[in-house]
Amino acid sequence: MTQFINDKQNLVTEAIDGLLATAGGQLYRLDGYPHIKVVCRSDWDKSKVALISGGGSGHEPAHAGFVGQGLLTAAVCGEVFASPSVDAVLAGILAVTGSAGCLLVVKNYTGDRLNFGLAAERARAMGLKVEMVVVDDDIALPDLPQARGVAGTLFVHKIAGAMAEQGATLDQVTHAAQQVIDGTSSIGTSLDTCTVPGSPKEDRISAGNVELGLGIHGEPGVEQVACDSARQAMQLVVRKLKPVMGGKKVVALLNNLGGTTPLEMSVLANELVSTCDNVTHVIGPSLLMTSLDMHGFSVSVIDADESQLAALAAPVGASAWPQMQAVNNSYVQPVPEGLAPQAPVASEDAAARATIEQVCDLLVAAQSDLNELDAKSGDGDTGSTLATAAGALKQSLSRMPLAEPDRLMRALGNELSQTMGGSSGVIMAIFFNASGDACAAGASVEASLLKGLERVSQVGGAVVGDRTMIDALQPALEALPGGLEKAAAAARKGADNTATIGRAKAGRAAYVPEDNLIGNNDPGAEAVARVFEGLATKS
């Protein structure tokens, strides 16, 4: 199993029922499975213009996820990437349309246009007032006679839905929807194609490339472009949108195409507002009009007037819809008084500098090996964490009190607490600050370091035998008064012994099965051993 589905034939109906079961009674469906899959508002009384949209499934939360107050009245769902039938669309129209009429919002695909269009004709023949608009916001393929409808469709849903909720007439809602369509442009890009349930995934996009302008059903885009950063990917998209924006202020909809992590989407949001100073408001970043699990994003923009801005900001009853937010450039405040880092008074000591630089270089050189070890028992980032902190520490040496051991230890603790991620930074801060306190009280450097380690064990709870860095660090520090060679030998023995410990009692490795641990050194202990071995070699 590669996807959490049961039977491909029941995928869409089971997904709709899951949505309905968790919607708190706000939605219902028509009894017409499997051919008629229509989701409707439970609170609808037909006194206002109904807004109906839909199309193939696989774009969730669109379309059923946007049924609710201030958005869609009903969504007509097809199978994955397949238009719903004429009967399904007609059923939706008949279920929610009263004397005020209804507007169909259709994306510009042949199947959707034909099926929604014929259903509209049949509904009109029954005496209902039905209008239809076709969304064609995709600018990726400028030579295409009819542009595709993509995520910009959601601007239409939101603005037309707000107007309908406020009691506008069918003509007014239709005119407003067409104005939105005329003013909306979209383009997307992706690192990978999507996985259609039951079908092999197409391996079309080369490693190191993004595909610009691919469709929401995985259709090939206009070109593949070499890309090595989120900034470059966003710049490619914005460059395509700039000509249609024409320097005007716009609202941007930042859409996750399905497989992009929230962390990545936040980075892309930062790049969007940094790259494009035209953007005054943003909807997202969110899953809005997805393409199953596609690892990509799209940006839609509209030059919204005051009435459209008000409609975009109006409250809705669908939880999947993110509120529009104004771009905020004033979000940094000073840290509370007393927490700002105090810069130590620098002093120079060539031997101390050389030793610290050597330790930093040893950790950077071991990055790949330590990451590989950590991948067997953790999240694979020990080497990167240590190397990043080491690089930052080397850059800070010019402002360190290198000639004063007690103050140097405290300065090291403060520096590492800021530059070393996760629990490692906290451990190092406790270790060096406690060592500095002991040194200031008159203890030797060797004894001070042991006092620092004792404090780490008290706070963190780990001791020798728990399969942590302490397994190498404690014997090394105990042997250090006898010289670096003895300390290195003790550290290596302690580090190698961790490969025989099948159950860790501290750190992430405590959650890892024995088979992953036996035969592999703890990455923290290995790092300690390599540092002492390197120092002993150069001494």
Of 59, 217, 281, 295, which is the active-site residue? 217
Please, are residues 298 and 151 in contact by the beta-carbon 8 Å criterion?
yes
Distance between CA atoms of 489 and 161, rounded to whole angstroms?
Answer: 73
DSSP annotation of 518 reads: T
Cα-Cα-Cα-Cα torsion 310, 314, 319, 321, nearest 10 degrees, comes to -10
26 and 317 Cβ atoms separated by less than 8 Å: yes
Helix (H/G/I), strand (E/B), else coil: 401:
strand
C-beta of residue 416 within 8 angstroms of C-beta of residue 432: yes
Q: Among all chains, which residue has been given the structure tokens 């919002």?
A: 105
340's CB contacts (< 8 A; 6+ apart) are: 334
CA distance 539 to 528: 17
Query: DSSP character for 193?
Result: -
DSSP state of 324: E
Give the residue among 174, 135, 130 at the shortest CA–CA distance from 153.
Answer: 135
Told to judge if 217 belongs to the known catalytic residues of this protein, a careful annotator would answer: yes
Residue 5 identity (one-letter amino acid): I
Rounded distance between C-alpha atoms, residue 56 and residue 167, angstroms? 29
Report CA torsion sign: 275, 280, 284, 289.
negative
Give catalytic residue positions: 217
